């Protein structure tokens, strides 16, 4: 039983990390339909810059983390305004944008590999944070508890922004009907910038956690973004809440499955279940929930069978 | 020169098959797959395991390997393409991870991280293809035949259906084309070609290592296809030559291996970005035809619908 609860806790930790990546991707995808795989590059930037600032510039870890997050936020916005915008002006969208995003991810990740090396780099957050804290028969480090708290807090803050503020209203409006926003005199470009800034700041948190805990190496960001994609699809495309819940579920599933399946197979288990699930439930777990749970999508769940962002806009959801 | 003939040329032919098979999906049908290295690996390992561990004859093993790849490809395509291309991207990424895991963890069959040695080259109609020159001939013949078949498929009525799916799926469906079936069939066909490439690769190297069939190889294949030109079969094939030759050029710079690898990847990333901006039809893709239609139609769609959300 102890093992079970320990695995549940480990699952929460993994899920909290996936969730930090997934909510931002869900927000961007729901609002702009950009398949922003370079989000993983923004995560890597958060982690690697934090390491570089501590290790090369000798800054204290908290300051380094904050600066790294700020720089990553900026990078996210630069990718939007400097790369995606000009591309869209040339008529490139759908898989063209995805290809460019993939190129950006490879470029960013390997820039850091070239600079800081291909082996794993870590920042030491101090003994106190890495000592296991016993809770009954199970244990977590303060870092891990912090990650879970930060992940829930970031999600709560994001939801508060989406539901309560006028920016949130703008974001939801843009997700629902960009043309109408433009007609009513809204500024879609500014709203998009805000969306990229929010999502990039949140994903940079995951990068900073990663470098301070298990370490940053090439491929870490890509690995995490794959889980985020799965979470976004399972959560129902466009739903930030669904993405968060699904990310947590993936983390739990991946860890608790180790009770019966050797741990080296746990990632495969998640993806096999994913393939099975999209066969049975093509529009994600969100269809199981009430209409109110879908925060970004203005349409009713039965109509929210996702359109196809990798195709031009005229292809709305294929009527199967 | 012998290095070029024995080492580089077979590799170029093998990757050309992969690049062409991927271009059938992305360039001609508009389906984005990240699992081509996985299919490549399934083909190579199925062939390797059947011939080395179970002593199968080469030809049946080759056929089974192609069949296995077609099956895996259909397994990604059937559930996900029922919904949308976004699902296919994620499902293919998932399949890439699963296949990498299976290859490196299923020690008792695949040899795990240690790899699978002992693959042999064939003797067909009494002609021995085990020498390097002979093998080069075999690979060249198979690759040229494959490329020719693909070029024929693209021009056939089925190919026109694929182009219709890519350019306007809704319209194609309205014209009575079975768009979903067409997508699943082309994914299965592309899978079989990737499997054949895997079989040749296993024979090329005599040895298989799990590190060959990872996500970054999928990205390399995507780079070849983008740079050569994803909308034409010959373009995609020639892209393989450019990308295989590129590291050889970098070797001349005398860099450390780690630096060279990172630099090469950076170059791939930058090239993908630049090409999609400046020359989406690739180095060898002709202007006109599919591309200009595609872009013109996208402009039109953007003018009408804002081009962002469609929900």
- CB contacts of B295 in chain A (<8 Å) are 91
Indicate yes or no: CB of B86 within 8 angstroms of CB of A35: yes
CB atoms inside a 10 Å sphere around CB A1: 6
Residue A113 at interface with chain B, using a CB cutoff of 8 Å: yes
CB-nearest to A271 from B97, B268, B295 is: B97
Q: What's the mean pLDDT in A10-22?
A: 96
Averaged pLDDT score across all residues of chain B? 86
Q: How far is A26 from chain B (nearest CA, A)?
A: 13
Residue A171 at interface with chain B, using a CB cutoff of 8 Å: no
Residue A170 at interface with chain B, using a CB cutoff of 8 Å: no
pLDDT of B287 reads 46
Query: Does pLDDT of A135 surpass 60?
Result: yes
Query: Does pLDDT of B307 surpass 50?
Result: no
Contact B237, B147 (CB under 8 A): yes
User: Cα B115 to chain center, whole Å?
Assistant: 22
Query: Does pLDDT of A290 surpass 50?
Result: no
Those residues whose C-beta lies under 8 Å from the C-beta of residue B13, and which sit 6 or more positions away, are B139, B140, B142, B143, B200, B240
Query: Does pLDDT of A291 surpass 60?
Result: no
Residue A128 at interface with chain B, using a CB cutoff of 8 Å: no
- Beta-ladder partners of B124: B127
pLDDT of B305 reads 39
Q: Is the dihedral of CA A192, A311, B85, B93 positive or negative?
A: negative
DSSP state of A308: -
> Which among A14, A307, A45, A292 has a CA at the least distance from the CA of B308?
A307
Those residues whose C-beta lies under 8 Å from the C-beta of residue A82, and which sit 6 or more positions away, are none
Query: Does pLDDT of B295 surpass 60?
Result: no
pLDDT of B309 reads 33
Report angle CA B280, B306, A320 to the nearest 5 degrees.
85
- CB contacts of B290 in chain A (<8 Å) are none
Indicate yes or no: CB of A318 within 8 angstroms of CB of B299: no
CA distance B288 to B294: 10
Indicate yes or no: CB of B105 within 8 angstroms of CB of A182: no
CA distance A178 to B309: 7
pLDDT band at A129 (very low <50, low <70, confident <90, very high): confident
Q: What is the ipTM of this complex?
A: 0.86
pLDDT tens for residues A221-276? 998 999 999 999 888 887 899 999 999 999 999 999 999 888 888 888 888 888 88
Q: Does residue A212 or residue B255 have the better pLDDT?
A: A212
Indicate yes or no: CB of A99 within 8 angstroms of CB of B222: yes
Closest Cα in chain A to B297:
A312
pLDDT band at A287 (very low <50, low <70, confident <90, very high): low
pLDDT of A286 reads 56
Query: Does pLDDT of A281 surpass 60?
Result: yes
Contact A68, A45 (CB under 8 A): yes
Query: Does pLDDT of B116 surpass 70?
Result: yes
* Strand bridging mode A138-141 / A132-135: antiparallel
- The residue written with tokens 């093992």 in the block is A3
Q: What's the mean pLDDT in A276-286?
A: 71
Query: Does pLDDT of B301 surpass 90?
Result: no
Strands (E), B93-242: 116-117, 123-124, 127-128, 207-208
Q: How far is B119 from chain A (nearest CA, A)?
A: 27
For B149, the token pair is 């078949």
- CB contacts of A184 in chain B (<8 Å) are none
- The residue written with tokens 């870590």 in the block is A122
* Strand bridging mode A138-141 / B123-124: unpaired
Query: Does pLDDT of B139 surpass 80?
Result: yes
- Beta-ladder partners of B3: none
- CB contacts of A298 in chain B (<8 Å) are 311
Averaged pLDDT score across all residues of chain A? 86
For B184, the token pair is 């699943």
Q: What's the mean pLDDT in B176-203?
A: 93
pLDDT tens for residues A184-225? 888 899 999 999 999 999 999 999 999 999 899 988 999 899
Residue A82 at interface with chain B, using a CB cutoff of 8 Å: no
Pick the residue of A83, A103, A238, A291 with the most B CBs within 10 A to test the interface with B by mutation. A103
- Supply the pTM of this predicted model: 0.87
For B127-134, the CB contacts below 8 A with 24+ separation are: B132/B5, B132/B6, B133/B5, B133/B6
Q: What's the mean pLDDT in B65-87?
A: 86
Q: What percent of chain A has pLDDT over 90?
A: 60
Contact B94, A264 (CB under 8 A): no
Those residues whose C-beta lies under 8 Å from the C-beta of residue A53, and which sit 6 or more positions away, are A59, A63, A64, A67, A68
Indicate yes or no: CB of B170 within 8 angstroms of CB of A320: no
Using DSSP's 3-state secondary structure scheme, residue B29 falls into helix
Residue A83 at interface with chain B, using a CB cutoff of 8 Å: yes
Query: Does pLDDT of A127 surpass 50?
Result: yes
Query: Does pLDDT of A73 surpass 70?
Result: yes
CB-nearest to B85 from A103, A177, A311 is: A311
Residue A61, phi then psi, degrees to nearest 5: -65, -40
> Which among A227, A244, A224 has a CA at the least distance from the CA of A285?
A244
> Which among A95, A97, A192, A313 has a CA at the least distance from the CA of B306?
A313
pLDDT band at A45 (very low <50, low <70, confident <90, very high): very high
pLDDT band at A19 (very low <50, low <70, confident <90, very high): very high
């Amino acid at each position: 039983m102890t093992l079970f609860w320990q695995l549940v806790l480990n699952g929460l930790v993994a899920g909290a990390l996936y969730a930090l990546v997934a909510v931002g991707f869900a927000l961007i995808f729901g609002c702009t339909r950009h398949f922003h795989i370079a989000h993983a590059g923004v995560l890597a930037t958060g982690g690697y810059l934090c390491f570089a600032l501590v290790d090369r510039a000798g800054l204290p870890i908290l300051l380094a983390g904050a600066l790294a997050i700020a720089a990553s936020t900026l990078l996210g916005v630069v990718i939007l305004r400097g790369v995606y915008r000009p591309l869209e002006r040339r008529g490139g969208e759908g898989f063209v944008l995805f290809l460019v995003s993939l190129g950006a991810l490879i470029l960013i990740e390997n820039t850091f590999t070239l600079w800081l090396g291909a082996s794993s780099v870590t920042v030491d957050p101090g003994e106190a944070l890495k000592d296991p804290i016993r809770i009954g028969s199970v244990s977590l480090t303060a870092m891990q508890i912090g990650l879970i708290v930060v992940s829930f807090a970031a999600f709560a803050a994001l939801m508060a922004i989406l539901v309560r503020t006028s920016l949130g209203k703008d974001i939801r409006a843009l997700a629902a009907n960009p043309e109408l926003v433009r007609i009513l005199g809204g500024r879609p470009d500014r709203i998009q910038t805000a969306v990229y800034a929010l999502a990039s700041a949140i994903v940079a948190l995951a990068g900073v956690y990663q470098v301070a805990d298990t370490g940053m190496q090439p491929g870490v960001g890509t690995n995490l973004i794959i889980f985020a994609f799965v979470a976004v699809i399972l959560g129902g495309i466009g739903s930030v809440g669904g993405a968060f819940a699904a990310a947590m579920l993936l983390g739990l599933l991946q860890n608790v499955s180790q009770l019966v399946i050797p741990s080296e197979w746990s990632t495969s288990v998640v993806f096999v279940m994913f393939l099975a699930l999209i066969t049975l439930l093509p529009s994600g777990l969100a269809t199981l929930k009430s209409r109110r749970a879908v925060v970004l999508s203005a349409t009713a769940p039965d109509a929210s069978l996702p359109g196809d962002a990798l195709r031009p806009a005229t292809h709305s959801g294929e009527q199967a | 020169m012998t290095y070029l003939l024995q080492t580089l040329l077979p590799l170029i032919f093998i990757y050309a098959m992969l690049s062409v098979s991927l271009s059938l999906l992305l360039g001609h049908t508009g389906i984005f797959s990240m699992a081509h290295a996985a299919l490549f690996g399934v083909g190579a390992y199925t062939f390797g395991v059947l011939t080395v561990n179970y002593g199968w004859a080469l030809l049946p093993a080759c056929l089974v390997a192609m069949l296995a790849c077609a099956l895996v490809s259909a397994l990604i395509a059937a559930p996900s393409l029922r919904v949308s291309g976004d699902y296919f991207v994620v499902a293919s990424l998932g399949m890439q991870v699963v296949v990498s895991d299976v290859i490196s963890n299923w020690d008792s069959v695949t040899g795990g991280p240690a790899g699978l040695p002992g693959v042999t080259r064939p003797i067909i109609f009494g002609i021995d293809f085990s020498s390097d020159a002979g093998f080069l001939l075999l690979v060249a013949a198979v690759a040229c035949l494959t490329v020719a078949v693909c070029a024929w498929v693209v021009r056939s009525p089925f190919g026109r259906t694929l182009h219709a799916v890519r350019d306007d799926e809704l319209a194609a469906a309205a014209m009575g084309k079975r768009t979903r079936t067409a997508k699943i069939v082309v994914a299965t066909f592309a899978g079989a070609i990737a499997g054949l490439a895997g079989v040749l690769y296993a024979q090329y190297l005599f040895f298989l290592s799990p590190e060959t069939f990872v996500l970054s190889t999928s990205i390399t294949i995507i780079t070849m296809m983008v740079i050569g030109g994803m909308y034409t079969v010959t373009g995609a094939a020639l892209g393989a030559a450019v990308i295989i030759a590129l590291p050889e050029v970098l070797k001349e710079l005398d860099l450390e291996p780690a630096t060279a690898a990172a630099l090469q990847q950076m170059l791939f990333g930058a090239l993908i970005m630049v090409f999609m901006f400046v020359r989406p039809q690739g180095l060898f893709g002709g202007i006109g035809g599919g591309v200009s239609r595609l872009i013109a139609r996208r402009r039109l769609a953007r003018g009408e619908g804002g081009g962002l959300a469609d929900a």
